[in-house]
Amino acid sequence: MAAVGQVIRSEWTKIRSVRSTVWTLGIAVLVTVGLGMLICTLANHDFNSMPPRDRLSFDATNISFAGMGLGQLAMIVFGVLVVSNEYSTGMIRASLAAVPQRGTFLFCKLLVATALVFVVGLATSFVTFFAGQAMLGDLRAHLGDPGVLRAVIGGGLYMTLIALFSMAVATMLRSPMLSLGILMPFFFLISNILGNVSATRKIGRFLPDQAGSKIMQVVPRAGEDVPYGPWGGLGIMIAWTVLALAGGYVLLKRRDA
Amino acid sequence: MIELEGLTKHYGDKVAVDHLTFTVRPGIITGFLGPNGAGKSTTMRMMLDLDNPTSGTVRIDGKHYRQLEDPLTYIGALLEAKAVHGGRSAANHLLCLAQSNGIPRSRVGEVLEMVGLSSVARKRAKGFSLGMGQRLGIAAALLGDPQVLLFDEPVNGLDPEGIHWIRNLMKHLAAQGRTVFVSSHLMSEMALTADHLVVIGQGRLMADTSMKDFIHQNSRSYVRMRSPEQQKLLDLLRAEGIHAVAAGGGALEIDGVPAERLGELAAAHHLTLHELSPQQASLEEAFMRLTAASVEYHAHNGEPVPVRTAAVPGTPQPAGARPGEPQPTGWGTDWQKKRS
């Protein structure tokens, strides 16, 4: 059996020795924080002209995460590249010859990448929260308010799970182009469309990103009626991720490298 | 030591590797020869447990690949040049492989020095030439100081200096008592490096013989004669007790008689000769004929076709293909017996 500690060290060397790691994670942080601050500034200006119904359901915490919709795309790119780079470069054969226990190989790779994403995601979530609140003036929420800390930590978990889900999908599909070609439009367009068209809304809210992002809400949206709470939503996202991981593991085990 | 037993790989209906059984012994270089698409790379990938065999097994020092603890310290492989993330430096590429097998970091510098890449250790692999990529692959194979080494087409894309270097490296490794298994589609390359030869065609074992025997069987020299008075020449030769065989294009082939004697004989009997040429069958031709035969067997549904019919006039023919003559024992014959 390959020693897990050795493989984790090896995977860490792999991640830290390519530039795409810094680029993708850096863009994820910048876009999430920058866009969040921008939208918070705009919301602060517009608040007085909002209809009263919207003012009641104004969620200062959630609005500071507005940049995550775009920032998560960079997280998806990170997740996809971490796995599919092995295939697109042919490195996978050297990697599997070094660690023929494919379960150990995949588990260690995903563990290292996920741990890194969690640290970056959690930090991003806190930074974007504080930066966003600073732009909101009197409307700001405080970390001590009910549900706010949960939402901020949840933001970090959400980004981590999006990246892990992407890694799992890339494990199944292998090709970076194919993986990105499916994941990017799915999370950027299709999921939003399904979630906003009344006929498909009931399905749309069970998609990983929509269910998972519930954890970042503190004030429920007006007229919204979802059958799960913040942790239930995250649970749905975790279930999707576990399913994708199982698929990736089974395929990696069975397939020729 | 590598032992293959009935190794078989199917891709759908296509049989890529067909019941391969042979042993790769330590202390010598074993050449693995076959035309492109014969199944060499598939076989090597199955040896490393990268591809799952349809049936059969591979054992390395008696163990299945997956049972090896820190496999890079048992067996090192060069599968394809530049199977490297282009954005990673040579040193980091080797470091991540070393770490996964508990090989000390200092070894990375050692193998880079060994293959002559020390000066570009910190450079990203993207900018490497094919030859440098090949050297990096060899550095990775040597990383764990393994007793077994696999090289898949190691001289591809190398300049003459690099080819020379690889040949010497392989000889050096074998001389240290290691098992060296190297694939190629060039017989001439194998003749220079290998001590033992395993030939496959269409996934089947066609020969498993020592290089010495192979050369002995195939390095036949003969004399070719052409005359406008062929019948007269034949009669003359027969009278002298010399056995001649008709080849294509009105030529005769004579074994074991020097060209000088044949020329003098013809002159003494006032025979016009259009050709009198000593011929040497090359190993490359012997190899091509061996593997071309596998294609013919396949195409004609198991019916052996005399290879001679395909002979092009002017092409020297080595022994073993003459109709009516007993086939030489040695390479290929086991396989032919099995088929017929």
Q: Express each pLDDT in B306-317 by its tens digit.
A: 444 333 444 444
Of all residues in chain A, the percent with pLDDT exceeding 70 is: 98
The confidence score (pLDDT) of residue A223 equals 67
- The rounded distance, in Å, linking the Cα atoms of B55 and A251 is 20
CA distance to partner chain A, nearest, from residue B193 (Å): 26
Q: Which pLDDT band, with edges at 50, 70 and 90, does A14 fall under?
A: very high
Place of tokens 């392989």: B170
- The rounded distance, in Å, linking the Cα atoms of B198 and B31 is 6
Nearest to A91 among B51, B68, B84 (CB): B84
8 Å CB contact of A85 and B89: no
Single pTM value for the model: 0.83
Average pLDDT over residues A243-247: 97
The confidence score (pLDDT) of residue B245 equals 86
Q: Does B142 touch chain A (CB under 8 A)?
A: no
pLDDT at B294 over 70: no
| CB pairs A-B closer than 8 Å | 94
pLDDT at A104 over 70: yes
Between positions 71 and 90 of B, the ones with CB within 8 A of A are: 71-72, 77, 79-80, 82-89
Residues of A in contact with B101 (CB under 8 A): 2, 6, 98
Average pLDDT over residues A81-91: 94
pLDDT at B202 over 50: yes
| Higher per-residue confidence, B140 vs B335 | B140
The confidence score (pLDDT) of residue B97 equals 97
The confidence score (pLDDT) of residue B339 equals 40
Instruction: For residue B210, report the phi and psi dihedrals to the nearest 5 degrees.
Output: -75, 150
* Residue range B131-162, pLDDT digits in tens: 899 999 999 999 999 999 999 999 887 889 98
pLDDT at B323 over 70: no
Distances (CA, A) of B183 to B31, B156, B189: 6, 11, 10
CA distance to partner chain B, nearest, from residue A19 (Å): 7
pLDDT at A50 over 90: no
The confidence score (pLDDT) of residue B122 equals 94
The confidence score (pLDDT) of residue B324 equals 41
Q: Write the Ramachandran bin of A219: left for phi over 0, alpha for psi from -120 to 50, otherwise beta.
A: beta
DSSP A188: I
* Residue range B174-191, pLDDT digits in tens: 999 999 999 988 888 888
Q: Which pLDDT band, with edges at 50, 70 and 90, does B278 fall under?
A: confident
The confidence score (pLDDT) of residue A54 equals 82
Q: Among A54-58, A159-163, B133-137, which stretch is predicted with the lowest mean pLDDT?
A: A54-58
The confidence score (pLDDT) of residue B304 equals 44
Residues of B in contact with A10 (CB under 8 A): 96-100
Q: Beta strand B29-33 with B196-201: parallel, antiparallel or unpaired?
A: parallel
- Chain A interface with B: residues with Cβ < 8 Å: 1-3, 6-7, 9-11, 13-14, 17-20, 85, 89-91, 93-101, 254, 256-257
Nearest to B51 among A6, A100, A257 (CB): A257
The confidence score (pLDDT) of residue B321 equals 41
Distances (CA, A) of B44 to A171, B53, B76, B85: 24, 11, 12, 22
The confidence score (pLDDT) of residue A250 equals 97
Residues of A in contact with B99 (CB under 8 A): 6, 9-10, 13
Q: Which residues contact A191 (CB under 8 A, 6 or more apart)?
A: A204, A207, A209, A210
pLDDT at B300 over 50: no
pLDDT at A103 over 90: yes
pLDDT at B5 over 70: yes
- The rounded distance, in Å, linking the Cα atoms of A80 and A223 is 36
Average pLDDT over residues B118-129: 93
Instruction: Read off the amino acid at residue B264.
Output: E
Of all residues in chain B, the percent with pLDDT exceeding 70 is: 85
Q: Does B45 touch chain A (CB under 8 A)?
A: yes
Q: Does B146 touch chain A (CB under 8 A)?
A: no
CA distance to partner chain A, nearest, from residue B94 (Å): 10
Report chain B's mean pLDDT, rounded to a whole number.
84
8 Å CB contact of B65 and A96: no
Chain A residue with Cα closest to B78: A94
pLDDT at B302 over 50: no
Average pLDDT over residues B54-60: 95
Chain B residue with Cα closest to A6: B100
